[in-house]
Every structure is written in C-alpha cells, then in structure tokens.
Structure 1
C-alpha cells in the first residue's frame, strides 16, 4: 500500500477511535453484520463476546498504526493466520470478515468521510491482511489442534495450579513459545499459556496457571480441573527463546507463572553441552509466590552457567499461606527484597545481554522502563505481545 492509502486508513480509524464509545460501537456493529449476513460464522465464537471484541480492537489498532512497518506487521498477521487454524476457519470466512468490516466502517463513518477513495483504501488494506493470514494458514503443517488428557493437577498456591497433560500426539514447539488452550466447560474461549517444559517425543506437556480474579477461564483451570479432562491445544506461537547466533549471554526476568517459558528454556539448555551464561531473576509479591525455586535450584546446582536470583516485594508470606516448606533452598542465591524491575536495574544496564521479560503487561513495561533508564539498548529486550 502507498503512503496516501495508509494515511486514509489511519485517519478513518482515528476518527472512529475519537468518537464517544466509537471503537466499541464499531466492533458491535461489525459482529452484528457478520452474524446476520454470514450466520455460519457464529459457531467460531464463544457465547460471551467481551474478550473477543477487545482482542479485535487491539489487533486492528495495532495493524492500522503500524501498516507502514512491514517487518513488524507481516509476521504479526502471519501468526494471526496460523493461530486462527484452531477455529477451523476457511478462506470464505476471511472474506466474510473483510466484507463485514468494510460495511461496519462505512455505516459508522458515513457522510463526507467515507469517500470512494477511502473505500478503496480500506478494501486494499483488508485484502492485504486477509491474504497474508490465509497464506500463513495454508503453509502451516500438522493438525489444527491437539487433545491433551489431564494426568496431574497440583495446586501449588491457592491461586496457582500446575497441570500436566498427555497429548494424543507429540507437539513440536520451541522452549519459550506459547499455545492456545481451550478447556471443558468453556468451549471456544481460548487462552494462551506457555509450556513449562521443553517439547518431547512422549507428548507430555505442562502448564502453570494463575487464577485471574473475575476471569472466565483461569478459575476453571485452577479450581475445577479434574484428572481425565480433555483440553484442546493449538499450534505454537511466539518467538521467545535463546538466540545463539548473537553470541551474547542471557538475562531472563520472570514474575509469577511467567516463569514457565523461561523454565522450559533453561531445562532445554541443561540438555546441551555448551551454553551461554544465564542470570534468571524470579519475582513475586510474597516469598511463597516463588513456588518453583526448588526446580530451578536443582538445575542451577549441576549447570554452572545458570544463576537464579529470587526477588520478592515483601519479606514475609501473607497470613493465609501456611505451607512450612522453605522458599529459598539452602545454598541458593540469597533472596532479595524489592520490586523486580528496580532490583534488576540495580545490577546495571546488562547492555551485553540478550534479555527476555515475561509477566503481566504492567510488569514487562516497568522492567523495560527501568532497564532503558539504565542505558539498556531496546533492541536487546524481547517479550511476547502484551495483548
């Protein structure tokens, strides 16, 4: 697309965003048109559409804002296309979505704003989005989904569970990637989780799940999962992992269950003979939130390239945590107290490291800000999409 057409698309979208309740009204109109004109598409979506509406808005806003950055947008759209395979989406469904979106935008803008030139610009933009997504979906090999049977469910904190599953066939993923997960009782309500162990030929997989207050899915995963339950797993996504081509040592920073993809990476590294140095900061609000330190310490004991540094904001556990198990194993790096971003930055800029950050969007942004303020090159910092 040329600069003129990109400008028209952005101007139209910004006008929608500036209107009172504009984005929400646009998305509601889009889904009403889609389901009315193409009723077969309704089966791809969950009964409650709140999360789906938010995701569409974020994705569309991200694409419109970065349309002129092909190195960013093309991989983003390709990943969306691969991810949509789990729904069973076919080419005609992409076309239906594109037509519905143009109709919703025209209805919303109307009048003098929606000119023939604007219409053509949006149709070209949507054609590009659809073609990249469809091509990526067509190129993806393997099944749309895997079925995993729950073989162990262990609640390690009152709001955190470790769930182990046996897949119907092995799933190849890179340590650090994430997958879509759908559980019984919450059909079509997909959530993204990072496996906490490397891929293996036995088809075993493990997830660490934190219950989100008011969430639709995570409370069921943590509190209602039973042995024998069957979860659906989608193709792996994301690009976190150790890039050995840089030759740099690693800084890994994880908070809460965000430790899972970093844990999988150091486990995979422990199976190799030659590794870069890794400093792994594990954070939480309370000492008990560092629930997996024993595993990480066992890896560090036999792998001198790995240093694990536990960090908690509070010195003591909350009153409701009664597990007497020591949080910091004997001989491990002394647990530090403070906010994770501040503690990591106190060690310096880590400018010679490849850096991965995993946790809540607020945690990721805070740690990035602290490191940048210390002089860390932004190009050295990686994390999964915050949305």
Structure 2
C-alpha cells in the first residue's frame, strides 16, 4: 500500500508524538530511555513503518526480507534494556497513534494488522536473542583520545571482552551525557578479540560533537553492530573505496582486514578531504602503502582553513588538488577492460550522493556502487529499512 506509506511519511511527526503520548503514559519509566527533546526521539519510527506497509500486501504475511530486517532491528533495540514483553505495550501505542492519521476503516484495519505482525516478529527475535545469550550492548571505557584536527577525534575504547563485528559495520553509541541519543560509529580496525576499538569521530552535529570531546575515563555504551559492505566476491573485479572525511575509518578497517586475511583482492583507496591537513591519518596511510595498499589523497582546496589546527602530513604524503574528486578516481581506475570494478563510497551523505551521481554520469552502473553515509547531524543514512534503528 504505497499511498498509505506516503501518508505515514507526510504525517510522521504527528503520528510519532501520538504514539509516544500513549506509550509514555502506559510505561512511564520508558521516558528516560529516549532523548530529552521530543523532536530527537524515535525520528525514524514513522518512515520505518511506512516502509513495511509499502512492502506488505493486504491479508498476506510479512515478506521474508522484511521479517529478516525486523529481526535485526529487534536485536539492535535490545540495547535500550526493555524486555521482549514490551512489544505488546508498544503495539497498543502504535495502534492508538493511528487516530491522528484520519484513516479509512480499510486503511486502519490494514495498518493495525501490519503493526501486530511487526511487533510479534520483533518480540520473537528479541526472545531468541535473549535465549541465545547474545549481549544486548557493551560497556566500553575511553582510554585514549587524539585530536589531529580541530574537527576530528581519534578515540580508543576498551570493552574488557571480545566485541565481534565485520569491517564496515557500525555501532550505535551513546554515553551518560547524551541521554537517549545514539550515533552510529564505524571502527577503524578489524575486531581482534581484545575488546579494543578505535573510532574516528567528526564534529558533525551536537551529539557527535559531544562524543568527539570525550575524555579518558568516560564510559560509552555500544549496541550490537549492524550494516556492512556486503560479502566479498573475488570475481567482482577490482574493489575501489572512495572515502570522504572520516569515512576513511571504514576504508582503513577494510584494508587492514584484507592484509590480515592475506586477501588477493586488496582495495584501492581514494581518500577525499577538504584540504591537505584534513587528511589526519597520513602516517598510517604511508605505512599501508609500504604494505601494498596505496592511498590516493585528493583535496578540494590547496590551503587549510586557519582554524583547522592540522598537523603536518607524513613525509612523502602527496595529494592532488581537484574540485571534482570523482573525475580523478575515474581517470585513474581502469574501466574499459575486464570485470567492472566495484565501488564503495563512504562518508557524509552530501558528498557520497554527489560522488555516486558523478560515477553514474561517467558510465558506472548503479549495481557496481555501494554507499554508506551519514547526515549533517552525524546520523547514518543507509537504505530505508536500516533507518528503522
């Protein structure tokens, strides 16, 4: 029901507020779990439900891929600390909120049926994760903070136990001074069984800025990792990563994983930044080059902003200046022969969207392009279903 999904999107704020009014009255203790500002609370709830409505036929059960994504979402939401039984009360709130949408009886009945299936599927997934002994979240202490530029922090945390994840996955992260607010951060190195993780945090938005100003001794809460960059396939041609800003963390993690696994298909990396000093990890990049994974640095402007407070680049860390970084990539990657390369674009949403558009204009098929991005406020912008979190 595409028209019903669109209706939910158009009245997302009104529906969300009505649902919360009912839920917080029914379960008062739940209020402390969410952000203090109502406008920052459950912002993706209505779009997520709209997506499910659009992918469900009247009278039919949820599609397998929809159920799979709801299962992942339920596992993710265990980080909030609610028992699986909460879904029955949340179902009542979701149905009660329908009153603000002025639906026809047919639309109301359909939406109520889908909501019931959604909550049943998520409750089941949460109970199964509980029974399997899966940790709902990890507590990690900040042990080191490095600020290579005014806008970027490299933060090391220790969880005290192994934290499994795959390269390219991101963790929902919060801390005591961000009540109810979570930001998605991607580790900059593969999981190693020690419980140590490194995050590159850009000061994008108030919440991310707060995380970037962490101090040793702070405690962070990490939910279960999600997302990712898809399965490796050595038959898909060259792997090319275009990393914008702190999207470099993902590229770094993928490169280290390839070296660790002695993979024959190491990625080719292009790192894009606004100016030379914004390439904040050049010593590590030079070490990667010595191990056979060169990093091509691209800058949009030749001079650093005077407030950037950047450190000097590593010896030999050259770069090319271009206002059109995608053109540099396409001109240097072989496109005319053999298996087409696979592109991964990761970084701020505007830059990733621009890069994807430019690749398509240069003849790269969309099926050859994967994207991982986040918005100005630091929130990740993956495909529709992932916004459920």
TM range (shorter): 0.7 to 0.9
Which residue of 188, 195, 212 maps to 1:203? 195
Q: Per-residue deviation at 1:238?
A: 0.8
Deviations 1:280-339 (A, max 9, x none): 111111111111122122112122xx2311111101111224545126x41x56434223
3-state secondary structure, aligned to 1:155: strand
The 2-side partners of 1:75 and 1:88 are apart by 21
Deviations 1:93-144 (A, max 9, x none): 2222222122211x1234xx431x3233112211232233334334445211
The 2-side partners of 1:66 and 1:296 are apart by 43
The 2-side partners of 1:340 and 1:129 are apart by 43
Q: Per-residue deviation at 1:189?
A: 1.6
C-alpha RMSD of the superposition: 2.4
> For residues 149 and 336 of structure 1, do their structure 2 counterparts lie closer, same or farther at Cα, with a shift above 3 Å needed?
same
Using the size of structure 1 for normalisation, the TM-score is 0.86
User: Contact 1:349 / 1:375 at 8 angstroms: preserved in 2?
Assistant: no
3-state secondary structure, aligned to 1:178: strand
> For residues 154 and 241 of structure 1, do their structure 2 counterparts lie closer, same or farther at Cα, with a shift above 3 Å needed?
farther
> For residues 320 and 45 of structure 1, do their structure 2 counterparts lie closer, same or farther at Cα, with a shift above 3 Å needed?
closer
Q: Per-residue deviation at 1:17?
A: 4.4
What corresponds to 1:312 in structure 2? Answer: 299
Please tell me whether residue 260 in structure 1 is matched to residue 245 in structure 2: no
The 1-side partners of 2:67 and 2:321 are apart by 41
Which residue of 83, 88, 100 maps to 2:76? 83
The 2-side partners of 1:72 and 1:373 are apart by 31
User: Contact 1:176 / 1:265 at 8 angstroms: preserved in 2?
Assistant: yes
- More divergent stretch after superposition (59-68 vs 236-245): 59-68
Moved over 6 A (4+): none
> For residues 334 and 191 of structure 1, do their structure 2 counterparts lie closer, same or farther at Cα, with a shift above 3 Å needed?
closer
Which residue of 9, 12, 20 maps to 2:4? 12
Unaligned stretches of 5+ in structure 2?
A: 373-381
The 2-side partners of 1:333 and 1:287 are apart by 9
Using the size of structure 2 for normalisation, the TM-score is 0.85
- Higher RCO (C-alpha under 8 Å, 6+ residues apart): 2
User: Contact 2:12 / 2:47 at 8 angstroms: preserved in 1?
Assistant: no
1:217-232 matches, cutoff 5 A: 217-223=207-213, 225-232=214-221
User: Contact 1:146 / 1:168 at 8 angstroms: preserved in 2?
Assistant: no
3-state secondary structure, aligned to 1:201: coil
